[in-house]
Each structure stands twice: as C-alpha cells, then as structure tokens.
Amino acid sequence: MTYQNKVVKLSDIIIPKFQPLVNDREHIHQILTSGRAGTKSSAMAIIADFLLVSEPNSAAVIMRKHHNKLRKTVYRECERAIGRLGLNKKLFKITKSPMQITYIPNGNTLYFTGSDSIDDTKGMIDAENKIKLVVLDELTEFFDKGDGDDEIANIVATFVRGNDGDNFRMMYLYNPPKNPVAPVNVWCTKMEQRADCTHIHVDYRDVPVEWLGKALIAEAEAMKEADLKMYRWVWLGEAVGLDDLIYYMFDESKHIEEPPQDIDIIVVGGDYGQMNATTYEAYGISFKHKHIYGLDEYYHSGRETGHQRSPSDYAKDFKEFVDSLHKTYGEKPTYMCLDPSARGLAEEMKRVCPYVIYDDADNTVATGIGRVQKLLAFCILSLSPKQVELRKEMHLYSYDADSIEKGAEKPIKENDHCDDATRYAVMKMWKWVRQMLPYIGKE
C-alpha cells in the first residue's frame, strides 16, 4: 500500500529567523532562545522530523534533564511536526517504551532520553545510522539541576566521538532567566564567542499573528500595560535583571481589598518559629470572581513580644482562627499547609481541629515565589486589610545582593514569615488557580 504525503514548504511552517537552521552545517552549536510563544520548540521538532525523512542513514537524540518531562513536551511536539510537514503518520513507527519515532521507509530514528545520570547517554550511539543532531531542551535545567558546563561538554563529547562529527550539530533551547549572570546566560555569552556557534533569539512579534491568534497577542499587550518588566522577561525573553525587592510589583492601591462573602475554598499557609514568628495566612478562592482573596492573618513573635508560646498554645489559637473564618465566610479551611519542620505543631493541630486536612507545605522556593509574583502581576491575588504583617513584609522581602551577582539568587531569611506562609498556600491552590490565569500564566 502506498501512502501519500502532502507538499509543504518549510518556509510556511518555520518563522523566517529560524529558517536558516534547516540546512546550517557551518555552526555545530545552535542556540535558540525566546520569550513565550516564540515557536522555537515547534521549529526544532520540524527540523528533527525533516532530518529523518530527508537525510539517509541519519538519527537524532532529543534530551531533557529529566525523563518525566519528555512525553508531554518534546515527544509530543515531534509527533505534531509530522502533520505540520504534511507527512502521513502511517509512515512512522511511534513508540512510548522505548520513546522513539522511526521513519519506516529508511529506518531513521529520533531517540528521546533524559540526562538523570551518565548511564542515560551510554549506548545511545545508533549502530546503523549516524546521529547528526542532538537537542538539549530546557537547557536551564542542566544548570539548575545538573552539572552545567561539565555535563553539556560530556554530552557533546559522547556524540561527536561516536559519530565522527560528520555533519553533526547540537541544538540548545531555553527561555533566558531574569538574572543576566544566571549560569546558563553566562554559558551562552561564552558560546557566542565561538566561530562554530550561532545564537538566534526571537519573541512572539517574530511570529505571524494568524499562528498565535489575536487573543494571545492581546494578553501580551495587557501585561505590557500592567507590568513592563515582567512583560519584557516573559514575552520578550530578556534577561531584565532581578530587583532586590522580590515582590516589586506589589501595589497597595491594587492589591489590598476587602474579600467578598462568596468564597468557595479556603486554604491556610502556616510558618512556625519558636522565637521567630509563627503566622497563619488564610486565602479564599472565588471561582465566580476568578480571584484569590486574602481573608485573615494570625501572627505571634516570641522575640518581639518577649513571650514564647508552646505548640499546644499555637494549636488552640489556630482553632480560634478556623472558627472565626467559619463564622465570617460559612466555610472552614479545607487545607492547612504548614512549614514541614513543624511536626509537633501539626500533631497538636490535628488533635484540636481534626476536620482540616494537614499537608506538609511544598517548599520549592523559586517556583513558589514565581507563582506569587505571577498572581500579583495579573492582579489575581489580593490581600485583606487584616493581613497587616504580610503587607509590611511585601515591602521588605528581598534577595541577597551577593547571591544575585553569583547567578544563584537566594532570598534573605528576614521579613519572610508571612511571605513563606503565603507561598505555601499558593502552591497548594495552584491546581485551581492556574485555570484563572491567562494563557501565559498556566506554565
């Protein structure tokens, strides 16, 4: 049986800035960066699939730092690219275990793998076909969760050595972090000095409007009006730098309001300290208003008051806090997300308030901060006038200046108790809240 392919011009499915990469064999190292909706992943997948069908005895390897990110990202993108190229899917053998896409007429194969350990790249040399393309997607992860320069150099050496460098090339994809001296940005600047490297940066403005849709363009323009700095980072992919102040976008005139009565779910974030402050920050989700409202705050500092409280005291205070929320909003908190170190307090709370679900807070700091920033930027999160201590911390919570200069930004462990509790609550609410965000905020 003969399967027919459609005739598609690559210039119709790859934006002009990326088109030179299709036949670029001069640059072994090809770096693709962008803001959101820059179509770099789409271009990469089309180029990889085109290699399979156009160059005999060829193969490609597409990698992310971790295996569990492959299927929903680069693997799915390469599946889509088959249709974009006008190719009949029946001409391909597409398997999930192992994760591979093979073009049946010539046996050329795309291999998908992680780089969780050195063993992941061993044995990836194709015995029949030369690997001519290796893609490292979401390159930032190789620096944040891997060995950075050394790991990349080892990957390059593995595949160059195994394939004699014949028409071999590496392709690197990432969205630049905010910090200009983040390790991946420093690596990119260094690579740009090499004659065998090309770096192409794009943003959504390089993409035809009909590809993206007017709604997406409108979102970008709305963020431009609301928060120019975040727009430049998110949409234009610029390394705009980090403010010392973490929640620089917090504006009391926009972010403080009385909550409505129609609250659907209440989540409390809790941060515990013995001499340091213990605080509970309550938030309510309103699906009607598509908003998260700060509801109330509990705060006690042994250092500031000179009076230290026991876990059982804090548990009793929590019960009173819960009862007050129930009386005001007709709802009790569904979840209490508590500082993971506060095991003793959690047990006391369970004893006096067994009807609340207690979770160890997700303490992924950078992700949590990014999500709170995003909610503030889109004005989807507001604070209650009752959250007095949190309001103070919003104006004070800062990055350590030395850590920013070293490319590994770390918050200063001061003025952070209420902010930590807020971050814990947001991480728990994210599965609901992300549906309220515009396209760009959904991650």
The CA distance from 331 to 284, in Å, is 10
Segments forming the whole domain that contains residue 311: 252-438
pLDDT at 264: 95
Q: Does residue 250 register a pLDDT over 50?
A: yes
Q: Does residue 442 register a pLDDT over 70?
A: no
**208 and 256, same domain (yes or no):** no
**302 and 404, same domain (yes or no):** yes
pLDDT tens for 62-91 read 999 988 888 889 999 999 999 999 999 999
**27 and 99, same domain (yes or no):** yes
**185 and 309, same domain (yes or no):** no
pLDDT at 85: 94
The CA distance from 55 to 44, in Å, is 16
User: pLDDT class for 298, splitting at 50, 70, 90?
Assistant: very high
Tokens of 106: 């010539």
Q: Considering the domain boundaries, does residue 199 fall inside one?
A: yes
Mean residue pLDDT across the chain: 90
Q: Does residue 252 register a pLDDT over 70?
A: yes
**262 and 204, same domain (yes or no):** no
Q: Residue 443: how many CB atoms within 10 A of its CB?
A: 10
Q: Does residue 158 register a pLDDT over 80?
A: yes
Q: Does residue 175 register a pLDDT over 90?
A: yes
**188 and 296, same domain (yes or no):** no
Tokens of 134: 């290796």
**196 and 280, same domain (yes or no):** no
Domain tally for the chain? 2
Q: Considering the domain boundaries, does residue 290 fall inside one?
A: yes
Per-residue pLDDT, averaged over 330-343, amounts to: 92
pLDDT tens for 112-138 read 999 876 555 655 566 678 899 999 999
pLDDT at 125: 62
**47 and 181, same domain (yes or no):** yes
Per-residue pLDDT, averaged over 218-230, amounts to: 87
Q: Considering the domain boundaries, does residue 219 fall inside one?
A: no
pLDDT at 118: 55
Q: Considering the domain boundaries, does residue 42 fall inside one?
A: yes
Q: Does residue 160 register a pLDDT over 90?
A: no
Identity (one letter) of the amino acid at 364?
Answer: T
From 353, 348, 375, select the one nearest 433 (Cα to Cα): 375
pLDDT tens for 367-412 read 999 999 989 988 999 999 999 999 999 999 999 888 877 777 889 8
Q: Considering the domain boundaries, does residue 154 fall inside one?
A: yes
**204 and 301, same domain (yes or no):** no
Boundary-marking domain end, from 183, 212, 241: 212
pLDDT at 1: 43
pLDDT at 17: 97
pLDDT at 341: 87
pLDDT at 242: 77
Boundary-marking domain end, from 212, 244, 279: 212
**162 and 285, same domain (yes or no):** no
Q: Considering the domain boundaries, does residue 205 fall inside one?
A: yes
pTM, entire model: 0.77
Boundary-marking domain end, from 212, 240, 260: 212
Above pLDDT 90, what percent of the chain? 67
Q: Which of 26-35, 123-132, 244-253, 302-311 has the lowest mean pLDDT?
A: 123-132
pLDDT at 69: 83
pLDDT at 25: 87
pLDDT at 190: 95
Q: Considering the domain boundaries, does residue 47 fall inside one?
A: yes
Output the domain CATH number for residue 418. Answer: 3.30.420.280
Q: Does residue 21 register a pLDDT over 80?
A: yes
Query: How far is C-alpha 403 from the geometric centre of its chain's CA atoms?
Result: 21
**289 and 168, same domain (yes or no):** no
pLDDT tens for 283-292 read 999 999 999 9
pLDDT at 441: 46
pLDDT at 382: 97
3-state secondary structure 290-304: CEEEEEEEEEEEHHH
Q: Considering the domain boundaries, does residue 247 fall inside one?
A: no
pLDDT at 239: 92
Output the domain CATH number for residue 113. Answer: 3.40.50.300
Task: Give the bridge partners for 94, in sequence order.
Answer: 101
pLDDT at 308: 84
**187 and 292, same domain (yes or no):** no
User: pLDDT class for 235, splitting at 50, 70, 90?
Assistant: very high
User: pLDDT class for 420, splitting at 50, 70, 90?
Assistant: very high
User: pLDDT class for 275, splitting at 50, 70, 90?
Assistant: confident
From 213, 192, 206, 266, select the one nearest 439 (Cα to Cα): 213
Q: Does residue 216 register a pLDDT over 60?
A: yes
Per-residue pLDDT, averaged over 232-261, amounts to: 91
